[in-house]
Amino acid sequence: MPLALLALAISAFGIGTTEFVMMGLLPNVADDLGTSVPTAGYLVSAYALGVVVGAPLLTALGSRIPRKRMLIALMALFTVGNLASALAPNFGLLIAGRLLAGLPHGAFFGVGSVVAARLVSEGRQARAVATMFLGLTVANIVGVPAATLLGQHLGWRATFLVVTGIGLVAMAALARLVPEIPRDQQAGLRRELGALRDRQVLLGLLTAVFGFAGVFAVYSYLASMMTEVTGFAESSVTIVLALFGIGMTLGALVAGPLTDRALRPTLYGSLAALALVLVAFDFTVHVKWAAMATVVVLGAVGFMTTTPLQMLVMDKARHAPTLAAASNHSAFNLANAGGAWLGGAAIAAGWGWTSPTLVGAALAVAGLAIAVTAGLMDRASAGAGEPSRVVARGAEPAMSPERVTH
């Protein structure tokens, strides 16, 4: 794997850290800025809103910018957003800083996925994309717990100053390690929007919304389930969340080779496994060791869906995959919001702390049904087999290392 993927992974590490660390810092922020924890929760929503809006918007605006320059510009915006968050004098400006930091999230992963896939030979593209996503999963193991502890001891502003530093390191790594990727001369907004209207792309995005919502229906309330049902002390919740991050990393490592070998079967298998694990969690959550083991497996099968979904929309977008790849992260964040809302609604209805597991299983089954329907439609229209990878044989052919220049 090219060293340039390290720069993408470092960037993903910073993005993952700032996305998830706020959940652990809400009490600190609320106390410091004189607001309630539920109100401080809007800081999580502000970041998610930035991702949903920024992914298609910034990708469209940068459709004719060389990809290396675009990656650096997006990471610069991310860095400015985190610096603004660290220096925000009041809650309103902190909301604005979080929104600003979230804007480049989806666009970065969209452009980064295309770049990662073009750095390797055909048959290894999914592994390259999964390697970039490893930065996101490692953030949940190391970055988020460390940043949370830092914020609790030195103040939440220190956390965002550190993430600002990570952003600067990522920009330097991108500038030094990522080669110049010649852009398609026919690329443009109209072409990107045209690819986004493809039926298979839309079904892929819909699969992401429902399938990944199954993960967040449970993850959003995992800490509460562990303390209220399993019997863990609040001080142990960080360890449980780190176990989830370990599972995510394992899922990313496995998903790359499997997706390169068989894209749709990997997607079907991960969604089916996700539904089964969520149903099992409804039983294992009552036993500490079983709950911890299930958390790891849940993280693994949940994150296994991301690589095949990313490759699928890039596949079906054909000649202009960047906007579709970025929009996939808007879909993931809609899944985040929707899954958390449905899981919370189940708890509020009096169905119990474990009810989000069954809600999540139902959402995973819905995602699987959409994915299978899309696959059958694709097979019927294509006649046989799946079309070639866009990054391999479309308008932007796979680029071996000797064909790129620094």
Give one DSSP letter per residue of 344-388, joined into a string.
HHHHHTTS-TTHHHHHHHHHHHHHHHHHHHHHHHHHHHHSSSPPP
Chain segment 320-374, per-residue pLDDT in tens: 777 888 888 888 888 887 888 888 888 888 898 899 999 999 999 999 999 999 9
State the distance between the two ends of the chain, measured CA to CA, in whole angstroms: 16
DSSP 8-state code for residue 402: G
For residue 405, the SS3 value is strand
Same-fold call for 1-183 versus 189-395: yes
Query: Which DSSP string do the residues of 155-206 spell out, in sequence order?
Result: -HHHHHHHHHHHHHHHHHHHHHHSPB-PPPTT--HHHHHHHHT-HHHHHHHH
**How far is 295 from 303, CA to CA, in rounded Å?**
12
Residue 39 has pLDDT above 80, yes or no: no
Burial of 96 (0-12, 13-18, 19+ CB in 10 A): middle
The C-alpha atoms of residue 94 and residue 312 are separated, in whole angstroms, by 36
Distances in Å between the Cα of 302 and the Cα atoms of 175, 329, 397 are: 32, 15, 30
Summarised one tens digit per residue, pLDDT across range 196-217 is: 778 888 999 999 999 989 998 8
Q: pTM here?
A: 0.79
Res 285: pLDDT: 94
pLDDT in the model for residue 393: 36
User: Higher pLDDT residue, 382 or 270?
Assistant: 270
Q: What mean pLDDT comes out for the span 167-193?
A: 79
Three-class SS state of 287: coil
Encoded amino acid at 34, one letter: G
Instruction: Provide the residue ranges of all domains of the chain, joining segments of one domain with +.
Output: 1-183, 189-395
pLDDT, residue 82, reads 96
The Cα angle at residue 336 between residues 314 and 69, in degrees rounded to 5: 45
Query: Residue 180, Cβ neighbours under 10 Å: how many?
Result: 12
Using the CB atoms, write b or e for 146-177: b if 16+ within 10 Å. bbbebbeeebbbebbbbbbebbebbbebbeeb
- Of 67, 68, 78, 66, nearest to 168 by C-alpha is 78
Which amino acid, residue 138? V
Backbone dihedral angles phi then psi of residue 262, each to the nearest 5 degrees: -155, 100
pLDDT band, very low/low/confident/very high, at 52 (cuts 50, 70, 90): confident
Residue with more model confidence, 389 or 119: 119
Contacts of 104 (CB under 8 A, 6+ apart): 54, 58, 74, 75, 77, 78, 81
pLDDT at 1: 62
**Third-level CATH fold of 189-395:** Growth Hormone; Chain: A; (1.20.1250)
Q: Which CATH architecture has domain 1-183?
A: Up-down Bundle (1.20)
The continuous run of DSSP H or E covering 395 comes out as none
Tell me the pLDDT band of 395, cut-offs 50, 70 and 90.
Answer: very low
pLDDT tens-place string over residues 226-267: 888 988 887 777 788 789 889 988 998 899 899 989 999 999
If you search the block for the tokens 């993280």, which residue do you land on? 299
What tokens appear for 132 in the block? 């970039």
